[in-house]
Amino acid sequence: MIGTINHVSKFPTKDFLHSSPVDLSQYLSLLLRSIFQSRSLRKGIQIHAQLISSGGVSLNKSHHVQKILSELTSMYVASGDIVSARQLFNGMSLKTTFLKNRVIKGYGENGLSLDALHLFCQMGDQPSDSHTFTFSLKACADLGVRENVVRLHCRAIVEGFQLDGYVQNSLISSYMRCGDRESAEKVFDRIHSRTKTVVSWSAMISGLVENGRAKEALRVFDKMIQSSIIPGCSTVISVLPACASTKDLRRGRTVHKITVQNGYIGFLPARNSLIDMYMKCGRLDVARKLFDERGYDRDVVSWTAMIAGYIAADQIEESLVLTNEMMLSSPWKPNAVTMTAILSSCSIRHGKSIHGLCIRLHLVHQLIVEASLLEMYSRCGEMEISLILFANCSQRPGTWNQVISCYRRNGLALSAINHFKQMLLSGVRPNDTTIMSILPAYSETNHNQAKSLHCYVIKTGFAASTEAVTGLINLYSKFGSLPTAWELFDELKTEAKDVVVWSSIINGYGMHGHAETAIELLNQMIHSGIEPNEITYTTILHSCSHAGLVDEGLNLLERLRSTSYTSEGHHYYSCIIDLLGRANRLDEARKLIPETTQTPAVWGALLGACAVHGNVELGEEAGQRLFQLEPENTGNYILLGNLYAASGRWDEAAAVRKKLKQKGLQKQPGCSRNSF
């Protein structure tokens, strides 16, 4: 009898397999245990080959051979050879549910989600269990096709798995990943409170965060705590980004406390999430303390979170010092994400050094690094270098998108369009980002070219993208084609109309003087359950200001005070001041300005209104505030001087002009250009 798997070359002949059932049973059991212990692809292939050459496969109905074939199939799946696994699976006479699940899972793990679903459909008459639906739902989520998730959901109900915890959690996650938040919430709400596990709560929280619903994710987290559910480490990692994006430091500290109490603080991903949260909430000192604390590991994610946090806080020098420290004293080296963070805001001098470092670390040909280098050079006014770099890079869709965006941001719309056409001629297929990059450039052309792009978007299937339709709404709005913009908006499904879509159509009507229509659309937006953001309110206030709808604007201000956007630094304060100023309600406008405000736009709006209506007293106060906030802004001095002159106070006007000369400030001469 053979004792170990190393003697696989002595696999018995077909005659032996037929002659001694007892020895055969013992031998195959030993071989089966050896496969369990080894998990070696090379030895597994040897066993498979010996089984074929000795005729063992012809005994396909043998229980032991079936078990060996099952293990071989699992081995092929685990090693990534999904083709061999499927061939073995197809040739087996007894296909167990466990093995079917293993192959479906293997397809998903190897990025072959469509094949996983095909296998599920082909094996429809075979028994399924909760794992079958779990693995198949993950494949649906990977494909991002909501309709497939709905079909599997219906199938799970038919087969009686709708109340299975694994299936319910998978449904929540799959619906969320497909952007169907409402269906995920319905599944979650139907789970009995006593059977809601930490996995269910975590799936909801992470799904809401991924769908840009950070505030809702935090509310779900609060309910989880109130339900006496102890958050898991995955919950902590999911909820901290929500705290970071909303800058909710109070909740962030609560999560930090939970992390320490439950012993998650030593788990590196949780620690990195805490560092990132404190950085984004402006507590660089706490983040640095966590980062420097001895006895805990650090990885490239830790370093990158710190570097990106310093950059976001406009502490560029500190970020470069930390990068240098990472290079010299850390076993970790910057990766593509680290370099992208640094390049996002560095000067041309530092940018060239970072470019050299990318070459040295062999990162320069990674797509996000190529795109970041193109953006950095164009932002610094070095379009020629950017184009030379583009000519020598991979010229994948991502780099084409970036160079198109670079031209557009530098006011070179026609060059952006020409590069888009070159991209098509080069045979490079555009993606959603390409369409979103080129749409604003077409707003600088004419209506007919915009229609041509619209036709291309429909022909190539990009019209199915909500982002592309939103871009088209903005495009037609800028041309004044509000009926077309409304038609695009109206054709979108209700669940696709998010805050960005609503803000776009509201902005379209607002910019063309239809303030009352914009307000009506705002009310519809709120009624549909979408919460307006700061951009939405600012847009409507601008339109109210230009249309003279003072009362409507003040009503909006009252509505704003019940939201989280009320802050002296927000743009809508200057809109309100401008609105009241146009109506010559200057005293009322002054009362609305907080004494501690440090926003020049607010005082500038008041000064401009005072200049129009000749209110010297309030104009003087606004002017003096502006001199403190913007001492180098010549416009403020000239505006106040003109106000004095219009009121016949020539001495004060002369004093202001003298002060302007003493500071060495000069008004920039105006110019105009006509094209023939």
Q: Decide if pLDDT at 7 tops 80.
A: no
At the second CATH level, the architecture of 567-667 is: Alpha Horseshoe (1.25)
> Quick one: pLDDT at residue 569?
44
| CATH topology classification for 446-551 | 1.25.40
| Distance from C-alpha of 112 to C-alpha of 318, rounded to nearest angstrom | 44
Provide the whole-model pTM: 0.69
Q: Decide if pLDDT at 135 tops 70.
A: yes
Residue closest to 41 by CA, chosen among 68, 77, 67 = 77
Q: Decide if pLDDT at 99 tops 70.
A: yes
For residue range 521-567, list pLDDT tens digits in order: 988 988 888 888 778 888 888 888 777 788 787 787 777 766 655 54
Contact 218, 239 (CB under 8 A): yes
Q: Decide if pLDDT at 662 tops 80.
A: no
Give one word for 480, left, alpha or beta, with left for phi > 0 and alpha for psi -120 to 50: left
Q: Decide if pLDDT at 595 tops 80.
A: no
Task: Provide the 8-state DSSP code for 126.
Answer: S
Task: Provide the 8-state DSSP code for 96.
Answer: -
In this prediction, residues 642-653 reach a mean pLDDT of 83
For residue range 390-420, list pLDDT tens digits in order: 888 888 888 899 899 988 888 888 999 999 9
- The label of the residue with tokens 């074929």 reads 52
For residue range 464-475, list pLDDT tens digits in order: 888 899 999 999
**Domain ranges for the chain:** 211-297, 446-551, 567-667
In this prediction, residues 137-143 reach a mean pLDDT of 84
> Quick one: pLDDT at residue 37?
57
- At 295, the pLDDT band (50, 70, 90 cuts) reads confident
> Quick one: pLDDT at residue 80?
72
The answer to whether the 446-551 and 567-667 domains have the same CATH topology is yes
- At 272, the pLDDT band (50, 70, 90 cuts) reads very high
> Quick one: pLDDT at residue 31?
58
- At 242, the pLDDT band (50, 70, 90 cuts) reads very high
Task: Provide the 8-state DSSP code for 59.
Answer: G
User: Within a 13 Å sphere around the CA of 479, how many CA atoms are in the beta-carbon half?
Assistant: 22
**Cα 302 versus chain centre, distance:** 20
Report the chain's mean pLDDT, rounded to a whole number: 81
In this prediction, residues 348-365 reach a mean pLDDT of 88
For residue range 302-353, list pLDDT tens digits in order: 999 999 999 888 888 888 889 888 888 888 888 999 999 888 888 888 888 8
> Quick one: pLDDT at residue 562?
63
CA angle 39, 40, 41 (to 5 degrees): 115
> Quick one: pLDDT at residue 4?
42
In this prediction, residues 232-257 reach a mean pLDDT of 90
> Quick one: pLDDT at residue 675?
47
- The label of the residue with tokens 């159509």 reads 505
Q: Decide if pLDDT at 669 tops 70.
A: no
- At 276, the pLDDT band (50, 70, 90 cuts) reads very high
User: Within a 13 Å sphere around the CA of 321, how many CA atoms are in the beta-carbon half?
Assistant: 5
- Name residue 282's amino acid: G
